[in-house]
Amino acid sequence: MTIKMTEVWKTFGEGHTAVDALRDIELIGPQGEFTVILGPSGSGKTTLLNLVGAIDDTSRGRIEVNGSDLAALDVDARTRFRRESVGFVFQFFNLIPTLTAVENVELVADLTHDDGAERAAAVLSEVGLADRGHHFPSQLSGGEQQRVAIARALVKQPPILLCDEPTGELDFETGRMILGLLQRISREHSQTVLLVTHNAAIGAMADRVLRLRSGEIVEDVRNENPIPATELVW
């Protein structure tokens, strides 16, 4: 899916305490493009992902996904968009501790498919965790937990994947492995990816690198030769 943001503003609060988290964002993210978003803390990165994922609304401007205006969707269509078209991966995995790996994935798969259990098992094996399905999150390493979270995001085969610091809690080797997984799977499924990170080195794997500062896009660079994530160094 293609994401188009036109003159998008997001303001939190009112009057003298108002904060413009995003200012006049213009962005086209074509289908299948892998974009890395960099920027200091508070620059609006998470806010931008939340708007694209229809978790939050713009204050001004419009966001279109494949030509349809997110603000024009009724409540049901909006929920369907979030559920079927968007996969989220977060810094702190956000797994449900009382459910096993396969149940965490299945919980999402069940929402949209009758064959949830089978699909959950298949996608866990796609992220290399076929033999960990019945472990609880507390019995898994950080990298394994993040792979479960990625499996959960991917089980719906969403055309849009939004990742907020997905390697923030992981060591170098594990982080690189997770990025390699995201790169491979998003290419296979031609997903449009927005990946937020503080780590500028990760930009080398992306088709495009955006830099935010104080809610504005201050740099937008295309990368003709993205490197395999497995070759990243930082």
Ligand X SMILES: Nc1ncnc2c1ncn2[C@@H]1O[C@H](COP(=O)(O)OP(=O)(O)OP(=O)(O)O)[C@@H](O)[C@H]1O
- Write out the residues near ligand X by the rule CB under 6 A: 12-13, 19, 21, 39, 41-47
Q: How far is the CB of 156 from Mg ion (least distance, A)?
A: 23
Residue 132's binding partner among ligand X, Mg ion, none (Cβ under 5 to 8 angstroms by kind) is none
Contact in structure between 2 and 51 (CB atoms under 8 Å):
no
Task: Compute φ and ψ for 19, nearest 5 degrees.
Answer: -120, 125
List the single partner that 12 binds among ligand X, Mg ion, none, CB under 5 to 8 Å by kind: ligand X
In the chain, what is the greatest distance between 2 CA atoms, to the nearest angstrom? 55
Give the one entry of ligand X, Mg ion, none that residue 19 binds, where binding means its C-beta sits below a cut-off of 5 to 8 angstroms depending on kind.
Answer: ligand X
In the bound state with Mg ion, the residue whose beta carbon lies nearer, of 37 and 123, is 37
| 140 or 193: CB nearest ligand X | 193
Q: What tokens does 18 get?
A: 């108002």
* Interface pick for Mg ion out of 43, 46, 58, 146 (rule CB under 5 A): 46
The answer to whether 105 and 120 have CB atoms below 8 angstroms apart is yes
Choose the one of Mg ion, ligand X, none that binds residue 44, judging by a C-beta under 5 to 8 angstroms depending on kind.
ligand X
Interaction between residue 197 and Mg ion (CB under 5 A): no
Q: Of the candidates 60, 70, 63, which has an alpha carbon nearest to the alpha carbon of residue 23?
A: 60
Contacts of 122 by beta carbon, 8 Å cutoff, 6+ apart: none
Residue 190: what residue type? S
Distance in Å, CB of 10 to ligand X, minimum: 8
Instruction: Single out the residue of 191, 193, 187, 142 nearest to residue 164, CA to CA.
Output: 193
Q: What is the nearest approach in angstroms of ligand X to the Cβ of residue 70? A: 18
**Are the beta carbons of 153 and 182 closer than 8 angstroms?**
no
Closer to ligand X by CB, 32 or 168: give it. 168
234 makes contact, choosing from Mg ion, ligand X, none, with CB < 5 to 8 Å by partner type, with none
Residue 133 one-letter amino acid: G
Q: Which residues bind to Mg ion, rule: CB under 5 A?
A: 46
